[in-house]
A and B are shown apart, each in its own frame.
Chain A
């Protein structure tokens, strides 16, 4: 049961253009969403996040959009640079029910390989 899905295994973009990475989720209890970038042999690097009370969050070249009704989020990178080439993961977390709280459990998508060509 894959609760977070990234349906595009790979994306190729020209330098300077926009990169759009997509992510869908099925669990309506998710309330916090994150994007990570990962290079081989390194751990994921946090890029940007958004809570479920917002529909957009910007940080420099990175913007995340959240559409709760569609259970869909996307990451826009503008302009794309060759150094952005990496695997991008979306992730989601939820506040546990029944009085338990845990913010360290993220459910990850399978990742999208972004290649930015010079």
Chain B
């Protein structure tokens, strides 16, 4: 079974621009969650989508948004990029049932200059 696939692996953007990251979950998984990892804050939950609906959201500004498509693939968008948005963005998928572990992709490394 193929794992969680995230594209692109690396991205360099300029302050003020916007960016879209993509995630393809494990086949059959209906839940996709997004996380931000930075040296200072560690792994922080952004949001979770299940069957195309956002069912949980972390404490991030509205510049961070996402969506999920009918095939469970998900995209995350960050608008008006700031230097502090430089981070590793991780996508995780799961069946969406209780006590099911999340399986992570290798992330997209975003650098904002």
Contacts and interface: CB of A to CB of B under 8 A. Distances in A.
Interface in A53-97: 89, 91, 95-96
B105 A43 contact: yes
A51 B99 contact: yes
B104 A104 contact: no
Contacts, number: 77
B56 A45 contact: no
A104 B96 contact: yes
A105 B35 CA distance: 9
Interface residues of B, number: 31
Query: Could you say which interface size class chain A belongs to?
Result: 20 to 34
Contacts of B92: 43, 104
Nearest to B58: A105
B56 A34 contact: no
Interface of A: 32, 34, 36, 41-46, 49, 51, 89, 91, 95-96, 100-111
Interface of B: 4, 6, 31-33, 35, 42-43, 45, 48-50, 55-56, 58, 90, 92, 94, 96-107, 109
10 contacts: A34-B102, A42-B106, A46-B104, A49-B101, A95-B98, A103-B94, A103-B97, A103-B99, A104-B56, A105-B33
